Structure 1
């Protein structure tokens, strides 16, 4: 078991959002398993520089602010001043974590592990600004971990000899539950806002065109099933997403602002289905959270959604396929309450069985064990390890 890991990330509490939640969950799992993890939080907020103890490691707060080059160099100075040594360096996605990873791993003579989230690879491979950093990190890595099996070919295009391992996100179903008071709040909200006979279709998170929200609204309009649903949109809404100049019928909608995770169970309880019509994606926490609470998914097969959802737990269509999306909407509209209940129960069982924090932690522990002692960046490019996705 590695003695100490340096974990580079731009997403860590008190930062908010799914990336920070995932990072915190993974770090806590590794620490609980006995791995000492020092987190270097490359925060974009104005916070003081400091090094402090946490349970299972240190937290090095390194504010990037308007001079990220200075911040990364000062981080190196801090590591040297504290006389810290590491057996692994992990870059948890993000441009600056991947920029610093190869350098710090080389100086530590430690293997670099790069953990890619959705946009790191989906748009990074096409980004003039980020592709060079991405390529350097992937080629310098002893192992690349992805949350979607479909990301492995994209990694191999840039770093064909770097081994890739799929480690999916997880949900702790023991604590992620809907309380009776939350179900009552959901029933009250539906009674006050949703017309009888309509099903509530939740769209939660990033309400942007890249997430396929406009695409879903177009498909809903074209399907002729607008009157079957009440849309509940939760998050920051981009106005152009909702502008449908050629639409025949405006859907019934309710809007809620961005909510903290602990506020979401009552929202999920308000939904008959949750929609994730992404053109491309990682493994959205929303998909796991909704399925874990027994809510069927209306989802594309983009990225990690294909690893979670199928017709056993919802209504799935090929990403970007407008005809397939319309057909999935029609199937969802025609499904009986009993059929939705069976789909929800199957989803709940799947998440409880296959997407557990224990399995996620075990996946990363295996990667650390398999790469121990590989050495400096570049070793991964010469490795004969095989892809594990």
Structure 2
């Protein structure tokens, strides 16, 4: 019996999952990776190579946990090569990477020596940029490196469905070398709050129960639609607070926008938030650790994502798992994520439609908003659980 179990374990595929950054205070979406690794460990012998951050001493589901050593450019190059060597000696020959340019280049260069297999995730459109920004020589060099690495790996992995042909065309990769993989969300961590707990969280955040609170969670960049936030707030305030959406024409409620994130547009947004015309209704929360986001999502009335560019946005997954209605654009694969027939998806850059959608959510009775949120949560649990995504990744091996 013991020998049979050992034979079964020996037959399991082995995978090195390269983690770009991991720490307890992680504010990026890499905080989702541990839940996926735990689910993946039920099917695969997993090694995790953490490039930066302060990972824990162990991760559930991970048999071999490596911290890539080295400081500075040369130190990181040597540390990456050493990590690849250690993985090879431990019998690991297949790698899955997200956005780890140095690591994937090192894998390509050492492939003749170690014969490893490389699965590279990419999603999103890098050419979306500010109207005033021109493509620099550095941008062109990065594009050339990204195009070369996409063509030299074993397969390019992306999702959701809409992004498969777009990524194939963008990076010049034949369709037979493209693979579909979903992003995941842990619905045990991102979950709705009961009425009493929700009231407590809103009180701590300074949100009145009668307020309609919009929440933006993302990088503060042009690509994520940050420049649309102030006109969006102004238009929704004007419509809702002036009674346009009220059945009796009277003023209904106050509108507030909370912004979680950091990035190059923060200074611009801070100036706009300080404008007396907004009446102090926009609050910038800064970068919020991912571990603290579940309460924020669950306490809000609506999550807005006015992005010009997306791939497979985890912001939508987090909001959906929290049972909070979302208003989004159809950037990238966003419409795939919320599902066919979801009513609050606007064309990219269409401020009027975004405003109309937020007004519609604000005018929806609370019980109906809760029902809409719960339908989104059911979709997140069914389609995007770590267990389902682990099964998809296992199938790729």
Q: State the TM bucket, normalised to the shorter chain.
A: 0.7 to 0.9
TM-score by length of 2: 0.77
Alignment pair present for 1:211 and 2:216: no
Provide structure 1 residue ranges, at least 5 long, that are not aligned to the other structure.
Answer: 369-389
Distance 2:59 2:297 in 1: 36
- Superposed displacement of residue 313, structure 1: 5.1
- Of the candidates 119, 122, 142, which is equivalent to residue 113 of structure 1? 119
Equivalent position of 2:8 in the other structure? none
Distance 1:122 1:359 in 2: 31
Closer, same or farther: CA 176–328 of 1 in aligned 2, 3 Å: closer
Alignment pair present for 1:296 and 2:305: no
RCO (CA 8 Å, sep 6+): is it higher in 1 or 2?
Answer: 1
Q: Secondary structure at the match of 1:145?
A: strand
- Of the candidates 208, 216, 226, which is equivalent to residue 194 of structure 1? 208
Which deviates further from its counterpart, 286-295 or 232-241?
232-241
Alignment pair present for 1:172 and 2:186: yes
Alignment pair present for 1:72 and 2:77: yes
Alignment pair present for 1:344 and 2:370: no
Alignment pair present for 1:229 and 2:255: yes
Distance 2:261 2:291 in 1: 14
- Superposed displacement of residue 21, structure 1: 1.7
Equivalent position of 1:90 in the other structure? 96
- Superposed displacement of residue 202, structure 1: 1.0
Closer, same or farther: CA 309–346 of 1 in aligned 2, 3 Å: same
Equivalent position of 2:267 in the other structure? 239
Give yes or no for contact 1:32–1:56 (8 Å, CA) kept in 2: no
TM-score by length of 1: 0.79
Provide structure 2 residue ranges, at least 5 long, that are not aligned to the other structure.
Answer: 1-10, 130-134, 242-253
| Aligned residue pair count | 357
Give yes or no for contact 1:27–1:37 (8 Å, CA) kept in 2: yes
Give yes or no for contact 1:91–1:101 (8 Å, CA) kept in 2: no
Which deviates further from its counterpart, 74-83 or 20-29?
74-83
Give yes or no for contact 1:114–1:144 (8 Å, CA) kept in 2: yes
Give yes or no for contact 2:183–2:314 (8 Å, CA) kept in 1: yes
Distance 1:106 1:52 in 2: 31
Q: Give per-residue Cα distances to partners, 1:314-346, cap 9 Å, x unaligned.
A: 621012222322332332333332432231121
Closer, same or farther: CA 303–78 of 1 in aligned 2, 3 Å: closer
Q: Where in structure 2 are the equivalents of 1:1-389 lying within 5 Å?
A: 3-13=13-23, 16-33=26-43, 35-43=44-52, 56-63=62-69, 65-67=71-73, 69-77=74-82, 79-80=84-85, 83-118=89-124, 127-152=139-164, 153-161=166-174, 163-178=177-192, 180=194, 182-189=197-204, 192-194=206-208, 196=210, 198-222=211-235, 224-225=238-239, 227=241, 229-236=255-262, 238-244=266-272, 249-250=277-278, 252-309=281-338, 315-368=344-397
Q: Give per-residue Cα distances to partners, 1:195-248, cap 9 Å, x unaligned.
A: 83x311111232333211221322343463374521122233702024449x89
Give yes or no for contact 1:220–1:329 (8 Å, CA) kept in 2: no
Distance 1:329 1:189 in 2: 24
Give yes or no for contact 1:5–1:86 (8 Å, CA) kept in 2: yes
Distance 2:222 2:364 in 1: 27
